[in-house]
Structure 1
Amino acid sequence: MIRVVTAAAFVAGATAMAAPAHADAVDDAFVAALNRAGIHYDNAEAATQLAKQVCPQLVGPGKSFGAAVSRVQGGGIPPQMAAFFAGMAVKLYCPAMMKSVTDGTFFDWIQAPHM
């Protein structure tokens, strides 16, 4: 679960929030985007793991951006910030999905259930 913290707690715990040494550039960009948006948390690795769960929530029967946002909220992100969090996750972790929405190929991502 991600715990959103206040600005004072964020400043006090900034060293605890530093990205882990094994983080990659996409993780770093995601954490930086959250920080710029004022979404502060107490565990950068947990935040990036939650973000990586968004893309699979977009494809398949019964899956949607709304389901992804709900999962993000369940992970501790407040409702007023969850859509931004999920949107940024899509932009950074599965950017081809964003492009597919605009070029009309989004449904190519959806796999039909096997019978």
Structure 2
Amino acid sequence: MATSQARSPGSVRSLSVGLSLTIVVLGLSAMGTPSARADRVDDAFLNAVQSKGINFASPQTAILAGHQVCDELDTGRPKSEIATDVSGSSNLDGYRAGYFVGVSIAAYCPRHHVHE
């Protein structure tokens, strides 16, 4: 979501990275009631992530992290930078971090499925 407050790019990036780390590390699971379509999308996303050996504390944590990828892309950050952040804040190698970004886009924000 866009905010009306002006922030410097550095503070936005720090806030975004901090939020990503908080979601991944703490495993927040505050989610609304999903629709049937969301259940299918979430299930496909979780299956894709798990098929590459990417594990989270809970399914809700994985789903929130996937949505966070989209939030970061919405701010204009490049996919490669987000994948680097994912790799740096987890035990994922570059391939799996990039895969996670890609599968997050496919599931939750296909509008970002264009090449950089």
Aligned residue number for residue 43 of structure 2: 28
Mapping of residues 35-54 of structure 1, within 5 Å: 35-54=50-69
Q: TM-score, normalised by structure 2?
A: 0.57
Shift of 1:77: 4.8
**Cα deviation per residue 1:13-33 (whole Å; 9 max; x = unaligned)?**
xxxxxxxx8572211111010
> Are residue 79 (structure 1) and residue 93 (structure 2) matched?
yes
- Give the helix-richer structure, 1 or 2: 2
Specify the SS of the correspondent of 1:38.
coil
Bigger radius of gyration among the two: 1
**Count of residues paired in the alignment:** 83
Change in CA separation of 1:75 and 1:44 when aligned onto 2, cut-off 3 Å: farther
Change in CA separation of 1:58 and 1:78 when aligned onto 2, cut-off 3 Å: same
Contact 2:46/2:59, CA 8 A, preserved across alignment: yes
Contact 2:54/2:92, CA 8 A, preserved across alignment: no
Q: TM-score, normalised by structure 1?
A: 0.57
User: Runs of at least 4 residues of structure 1 off by over 4 A?
Assistant: none
Residue identity over aligned pairs, in percent, reads 29
Aligned residue number for residue 72 of structure 2: 57
Q: In structure 1, how many angstroms separate the alpha carbons of the residues matched to 2:25 and 2:54?
A: 11
Unaligned runs of 5+ in 1: 4-20, 107-115
Q: In structure 2, how many angstroms separate the alpha carbons of the residues matched to 1:79 and 1:29?
A: 22
**Cα deviation per residue 1:44-70 (whole Å; 9 max; x = unaligned)?**
111110110111222445x11123213
